[in-house]
């Protein structure tokens, strides 16, 4: 940031000094010009009155040279440094300066004309005064045009070109010194220098690359402006010669090699430019066409980045193709991605016409296929056809293919026969391909965004679901408890919960929804709702299950069911009542007998029988617990986890763990189960949700 | 993963399942049973001799048709369950709801 600021400041001060420099130049130029004017007039006045003014003849030359050099420097830095390559604007400025100069010159002529043959028109002093005005303006016009030409010549510069130019420019500038020698135009030495400068100007005048960058319209404008420049040159030169021949002048530009060389160079370059532009006129449309194709291609490839919709790509493709081959009409069909509707865009044609052409093409297509079968070389992808007895005599049909699927087609029509050449077909194919790539990218991006959104949604679902499981289990004097649950996907269908009904009564539930993933997760949340509604009623466990079955039967979809085990622990009587609704049998470690066994009481999953007959399958069991007894509840994700041989983890392994670690805390036992399970399954993914809940009585 | 073949033998519509029936493949089982019901047979026998594994989602498919069988007076018999698969049926309590036999012969004789 600070760096940028500093740079800006620096540039500013640089520009300021440049501006001041050009101001000083123009000021000095004006002073020089006024001095020259005064000096010349004094010399003339002295001559007329035969007085010796005591001014040496070098003084006017010196002042003229100073004037020329300052004007030169002024334009060199003013025109030389402006940015941009607007050739027409540059030529326009030249035109305006020339026009001003001409107007002033014409104004002077008008002045003489109005005065007629009066004494004043013959006054040498007045003539010289006007001549100086002309001199100043013409010099300014010549020098500014020279600098403009320099910009044109150096538009595409090479090291060598710059060197040649510098030699030319400095030689030209140096030629002002020649003025001190008072040679006139017929002197051979004068001509030698003029010829040298002329030759250099000629060599440099072949640099006309800027012409190629003009479009058709700009070329016409350039021609007009250049013609004006040539007229100006002719008029100014005539004007100067006229003055030189008819009047006694103290300072005469006709004898100035610098001015003459400028005239010659500007004239040469104007003529060259004019001719080159003229000869380039017929081919400029081709150049423009190519340029437009490149621009269109760029638009097609950039369209998606600009955040456009698919429709806009189709529109751009149709318009680009339409103009690229200069078609007389076009249409495009494509399938709308959102509602899978076929949509058609027309250019300069209509539904009815297109229908006729399509019918005709359909017949042709059969022949094309036949041709293909016979092994003839036909392009099956594009269809180029000639039509008979219709407004359009030729058609080019290009399919639009995205992800190897045809999504539509582009058809271009021409009123002439065989209107599409090889190059046009290539261009259209390129356009179509690029448009399809754009559309493909657009679709892929949309898909990626959609997927990203789903992932986010699932993350949220996972968060919500994890909040459905109890965050902390009840700490109490009667038992310790630990639990863990993992889902195979982001969300799962396992459920467990602990609820304190009153001071000495706890309800503990474990459940498993059939299936897994999102649908199971929804049912799991219903299960939670059912549990929390019923558990507050302090129902006996069998009634609890019957109500739960009733409620769930109404809301589970046909193929879903839930298995569950419910334990009601009475810590006062140290008794447990439990029911099993098709859930994995709970493992119980009896510390007194040092035995483990599974509670295989009868039961049926919830939502399997959706009528009153469910009651018959509910059986309540009861047992008394003693200190150090362990209960292990789990879901079938654990027992059905497989190792790399496809063997299930099973019940025995669970039993072994409990037998081995029953003395440890539930947390520890839980950790051991997890470790053992992961050891067993190795790097096989566990493809079901799994949950375990361990209770150890105190 | 799953292979289901159906055949008709007189009044018996036999569906033979082999492989694993999990959440994704249970749709095939669903279709097979729906087809069988459309044929209105007296008996539907399900051959599970080559059934290696059935997930809860697969069992859900069976369950969803129980009431329809009853309503349409179709007798469903499942036979040839491996010990492991039978255990799954048993834990869920399906052994109380379904007629399960060991062999195809027993299955056919069940109401004879």
What is the reported pLDDT for B86? 92
- Asked if A284 and A214 touch (Cβ cutoff 8 Å), the reply is yes
Which has the minimum average pLDDT: A72-76, A251-255, A444-448? A251-255
Query: Quick one: how many helices (H) and strands (E) in chain A?
Result: 17, 15
* pLDDT, position A372: 43
Residues from chain A contacting residue B94 (CB–CB below 8 Å)? 604, 608
- Token pair for residue A559? 């193929």
Per-residue pLDDT at A84: 61
CA–CA min distance A456, chain B (Å): 24
Q: Angle at the Cα of A548 (from A547 to A551), degrees rounded to 5?
A: 85
Which tens digit of pLDDT belongs to each residue from B15-29? 999 998 887 888 899
A247-251, A413-417, A509-513, B13-17, range with the lowest pLDDT: A247-251
Average pLDDT (A4-15) is 50
Tokens of A54: 């005591």
Q: Could you report the per-residue pLDDT of A517-556, keeping only the tens digit for each?
A: 888 899 999 999 999 999 999 999 999 999 999 999 998 8
Q: Is A694 on the interface with B (CB under 8 A)?
A: no
Inter-chain CB proximity B93 and A603 less than 8 Å: yes
Residue A168, pLDDT > 90, answer yes
H or E stretch including A420? Answer: none
Least confident among A151-165, A247-261, A546-560, B69-83: A247-261
Query: pLDDT tens-digit profile of B38-83?
Result: 988 889 999 999 999 888 888 888 888 888 888 888 889 999 999 9
Neighbours of A109 (CB within 10 A): 12
When CB atoms are compared, the residue of B23, B63, B67 closest to A561 is: B63
- The residue assigned the tokens 């420099």 is A21
- Pair A637, A673: CB distance under 8 Å: no
Is residue A388 predicted with pLDDT exceeding 70?
no
Return the minimum-mean-pLDDT range out of A199-208, A293-302, A661-670.
A293-302
B92–A563 C-beta distance less than 8 A: yes
Which of B26, B55, B64 faces A558 most closely, judged by CB atoms? B64
Q: Does A561 touch chain B (CB under 8 A)?
A: yes
Residue A558 touches chain B, beta carbons under 8 Å: yes
pLDDT above 80: residue A360: no
Among B61, B91, B96, beta carbon nearest to A559: B61
Nearest chain B Cα distance for residue A527, angstroms: 17
Contact list, A579 vs chain B (CB under 8 Å): none
**pLDDT tier for residue A164 given thresholds of 50, 70 and 90:** very high
Q: What is the mean pLDDT of residues A331-343?
A: 79
Q: What pLDDT score does A8 carry? A: 45
Per-residue confidence band for A418, with pLDDT thresholds at 50, 70 and 90: confident
Please report which confidence band the pLDDT of residue A265 belongs to, taking 50, 70 and 90 as the band edges: very high
- Predicted confidence at residue A633, as pLDDT, reads 95
Structure-model confidence comparison of residues A375 and B42, the more confident one? B42
* A198–chain B Cβ distance below 8 A for any pair: no
Across A644-673, average pLDDT: 91
How many contacts (CB atoms, under 8 Å) link A and B? 66
Cα dist. B48→A636, A642, B40, B83, B86 in Å?
21, 21, 21, 11, 10
Residue A666, pLDDT above cutoff 80: yes
* A9 pLDDT more than 80: no
How much is the average pLDDT of A564-574?
Answer: 93
**Chain A, nearest residue to B67 by Cα:** A609
- Give the one of A516, A610, A648 whose C-beta lies nearest to B67's C-beta: A610
Print the SS3 string covering A644-671.
Answer: CCCCECHHHHHHHHHHHHCCCCHHHHHH
Residues A464, A650 contacting (CB under 8 angstroms): no
**Residue A373 binned pLDDT confidence (cut-offs 50, 70, 90):** very low
- Separation in Å, CA of B61 to nearest CA in chain A: 5
CB contact under 8 A, A583 and B64: no
CA distance B63 to chain A (A): 6
Mean pLDDT of A568-583: 93
B105 to chain A, minimum CA–CA distance in Å?
Answer: 28
What does the pLDDT read at residue A83?
A: 56
Measured between CA atoms, the residue of chain B closest to residue A648 is: B84
Output the pLDDT for position A547: 94
Of residues B23, B67, B97, nearest to A515 (C-beta):
B23
Give the pLDDT score at A535. Answer: 93
- Position A516 scores a pLDDT of 79
**Alpha carbon of A591: minimum distance to chain B alpha carbons (Å):** 26
Position A366 scores a pLDDT of 52
3-state helix, strand, coil in chain B (%, to 5): 45, 35, 20
Q: What is the DSSP string of A480-542?
A: EEEEEEE-SSSS--EEEEEEEEETTEEEEEEEEESS-HHHHHHHHHHHHHHHHHHHTTT--HH
> A74 and A22 in contact (C-beta within 8 Å)?
yes
Say if A583 is an interface residue toward chain B (CB within 8 Å).
Answer: yes
Q: CA quadruple A101, A104, A107, A112: dihedral positive or negative?
A: negative
Q: Which positions in chain B touch A563 (Cβ < 8 Å)?
A: 56, 91-92
User: CB distance A559–B60 less than 8 Å?
Assistant: yes
The shortest C-alpha distance from B14 to chain A (Å) reads 21
Q: Is residue A377 very low, low, confident or very high in pLDDT (cuts 50, 70, 90)?
A: very low
Q: Does A622 touch chain B (CB under 8 A)?
A: no
Which residue of chain A has the CA closest to B93? A604
Length of chain B (residues): 112
Q: How confident is residue A370, by pLDDT bands cut at 50, 70 and 90?
A: very low
Rounded average pLDDT over A627-647: 90
pLDDT surpassing 50 at residue A178: yes
In the prediction, which pLDDT does A154 show? 87
What average pLDDT does this structure show over A77-92? 76
Interface residue of A514, A545, A584, A611 to substitute, partner B, most B CBs within 10 Å: A514
Query: CA nearest B23 in A: which residue?
Result: A515
Selecting from A514, A604, A609 the residue whose C-beta is nearest the C-beta of B56 gives: A514
- Across the interface, whether the CB atoms of B93 and A582 are under 8 A apart is answered yes
Is A604 in Cβ contact with B60 (below 8 Å)? no
Cβ <8 Å between B66 and A608: yes
Q: What is the mean pLDDT of residues A331-358?
A: 82
With CB atoms and an 8 Å threshold, state whether A609 touches B64: no
pLDDT of A101:
92
Say which of B23, B26, B92 has its CB closest to residue A582: B92
Inform me whether the C-beta atom of residue B59 falls under 8 Å from chain A C-beta atoms.
yes
pLDDT computed for residue A669 by the predictor: 94
Instruction: Kindly tell me the burial class for residue A143, based on how many C-beta atoms sit within 10 Å of its own C-beta (0-12, 13-18, 19 or more).
Output: buried
Read off the pLDDT band of A402 (50, 70, 90). Answer: confident
Q: Phi/psi at A307 (nearest 5 deg)?
A: 75, 30
Q: How confident is the model at residue A305 (pLDDT cuts 50, 70, 90)?
A: low
pLDDT for the residue numbered A376:
37
Q: Which residues of B touch A487 (CB under 8 A)?
A: none
**Rounded CA separation B40/B104 (Å):** 20
The per-residue b/e assignment along A488-523, b for 16 or more CB within 10 angstroms, e otherwise, is bbbbbbbbbbbbebeeeebbbbbbbbbbbbbbbbbb
What tens digit of pLDDT does each residue of A186-242 get? 788 888 888 999 999 999 999 888 888 888 888 999 999 999 999 999 999 998 898
Interface subset of A 517-536, CB within 8 angstroms of B: 517
CB within 8 Å of A340: residues ≥ 6 apart: none
pLDDT band at A81 (very low <50, low <70, confident <90, very high): low
- Arithmetic mean of pLDDT over chain A: 85
| A645 shares contact with chain B (CB less than 8 Å) | no
Determine whether the interchain pair A584/B67 forms a contact, defined as Cβ–Cβ distance below 8 Å: no
- Cβ atoms of residues A264 and A203 within 8 Å: no
pLDDT above 70 for A14: no
Give the pTM: 0.58
Q: How far is A413 from chain B, CA to nearest CA, in Å?
A: 52
Which of A103-117, A152-166, A361-375, A551-565 shows the lowest mean pLDDT across its residues?
A361-375
The whole-number pLDDT of residue A396 equals: 85
Q: Is B57 on the interface with A (CB under 8 A)?
A: yes
Residue in A with minimal Cα distance to B53? A640
Q: Which among B63, B67, B93 has CB closest to A602?
A: B93
């Amino acid at each position: 940031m600070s760096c940028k600021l500093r740079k800006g400041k620096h540039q500013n001060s640089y520009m300021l000094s440049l501006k001041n420099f050009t101001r000083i130049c123009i000021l000095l130029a004006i002073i020089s010009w006024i001095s020259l004017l005064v000096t010349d007039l004094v010399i003339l006045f002295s001559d007329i009155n035969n007085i010796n003014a005591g001014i040496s003849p070098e003084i006017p030359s010196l002042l003229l040279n100073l004037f020329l050099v300052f004007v030169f420097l002024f334009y060199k830095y003013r025109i030389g440094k402006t940015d941009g390559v607007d050739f027409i604007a540059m030529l326009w400025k030249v035109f305006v300066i020339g026009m001003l100069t001409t107007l002033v010159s014409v104004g002077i002529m008008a002045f003489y004309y109005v005065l007629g043959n009066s004494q004043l028109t013959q006054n040498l002093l007045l003539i010289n005064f006007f001549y100086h005005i002309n001199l100043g303006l013409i010099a300014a016009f010549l020098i500014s045009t020279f600098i403009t030409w320099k910009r044109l010549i150096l538009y595409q510069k090479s090291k060598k070109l710059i060197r040649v130019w510098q030699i030319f420019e400095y030689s030209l500038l140096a030629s002002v010194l020649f003025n001190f020698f008072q040679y006139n135009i017929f002197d051979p030495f004068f001509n030698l220098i003029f010829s040298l400068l002329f030759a250099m100007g000629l060599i440099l005048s072949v640099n006309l690359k800027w012409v190629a960058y003009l479009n058709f319209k700009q070329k016409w404008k350039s021609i007009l402006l250049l013609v004006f420049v040539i007229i100006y040159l002719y008029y100014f030169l005539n004007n100067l010669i006229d003055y030189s021949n008819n009047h006694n002048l103290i300072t005469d530009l006709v004898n100035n090699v610098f001015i003459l060389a400028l005239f010659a160079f500007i004239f040469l370059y104007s003529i060259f430019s004019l001719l080159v532009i003229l000869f380039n006129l017929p081919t400029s449309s081709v150049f423009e066409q190519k340029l437009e194709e490149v621009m269109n291609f760029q638009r097609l490839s950039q369209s998606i980045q600009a955040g456009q919709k698919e429709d806009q790509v189709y529109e751009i493709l149709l318009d680009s193709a339409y103009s690229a081959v200069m078609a007389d009409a076009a249409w495009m069909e494509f399938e709308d991605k959102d509602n899978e509707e076929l949509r058609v865009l027309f250019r300069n044609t209509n539904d009815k016409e297109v229908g006729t052409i399509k019918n005709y093409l359909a017949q042709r297509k059969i022949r094309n296929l036949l041709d293909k079968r016979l092994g003839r070389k036909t392009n099956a992808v594009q269809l180029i056809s000639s039509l008979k007895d219709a407004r359009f005599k030729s058609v080019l049909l290009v399919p639009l293919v995205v992800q190897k699927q045809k999504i539509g087609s582009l058809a271009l029509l021409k009123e002439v026969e065989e209107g599409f050449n090889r190059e046009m077909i290539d261009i259209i194919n390129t356009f179509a391909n690029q448009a399809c790539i754009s559309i493909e990218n657009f679709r892929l991006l949309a898909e990626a965004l959609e997927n990203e959104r789903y992932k986010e949604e699932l993350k949220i679902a996972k968060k919500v679901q994890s909040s459905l499981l109890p965050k902390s289990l009840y700490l109490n004097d009667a038992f310790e408890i630990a639990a863990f649950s993992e889902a195979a996907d982001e969300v799962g269908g396992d459920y467990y919960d602990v609820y304190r009904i009153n001071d000495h009564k706890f309800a503990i539930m474990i459940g498993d929804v059939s299936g897994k993933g999102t649908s199971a997760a929804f049912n799991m949340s219903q299960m939670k709702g059912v549990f929390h509604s019923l558990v507050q009623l302090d129902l006996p466990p069998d009634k609890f299950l019957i109500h739960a079955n009733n409620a769930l039967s109404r809301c589970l979809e046909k193929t879903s069911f839930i298995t569950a085990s419910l334990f009601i622990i009475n810590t006062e009587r140290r008794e447990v009542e439990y029911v099993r609704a098709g859930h994995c049998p709970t493992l119980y470690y009896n510390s007194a007998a040092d035995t483990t066994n599974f509670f295989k009481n009868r039961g049926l999953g919830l939502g399997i029988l959706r009528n009153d007959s469910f009651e018959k399958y509910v059986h309540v069991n009861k047992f008394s617990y003693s200190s150090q007894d362990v209960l292990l509840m789990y879901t079938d994700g654990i027992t059905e986890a497989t190792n790399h041989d496809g063997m299930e983890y099973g019940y025995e392994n669970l039993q072994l763990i409990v037998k081995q670690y029953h003395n440890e805390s539930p947390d520890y036992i839980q950790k051991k189960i997890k470790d053992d399970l992961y050891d067993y399954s190795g790097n096989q993914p566990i493809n079901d949700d799994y949950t375990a809940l361990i209770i150890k009585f105190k | 993963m799953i292979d289901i073949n159906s055949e008709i033998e007189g009044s018996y519509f036999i569906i033979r399942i082999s492989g694993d029936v999990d959440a994704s493949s249970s749709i095939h089982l669903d279709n097979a049973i729906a087809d069988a019901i459309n044929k209105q047979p007296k008996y539907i026998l399900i051959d599970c001799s080559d059934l290696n594994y059935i997930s809860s989602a697969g069992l859900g498919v069976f369950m969803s048709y129980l009431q329809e069988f009853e309503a349409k007076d179709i007798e469903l018999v499942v036979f040839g369950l491996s010990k492991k698969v039978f255990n799954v049926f048993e834990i869920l309590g399906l052994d109380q709801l379904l007629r399960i036999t060991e062999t195809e012969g027993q299955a056919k004789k069940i109401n004879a």
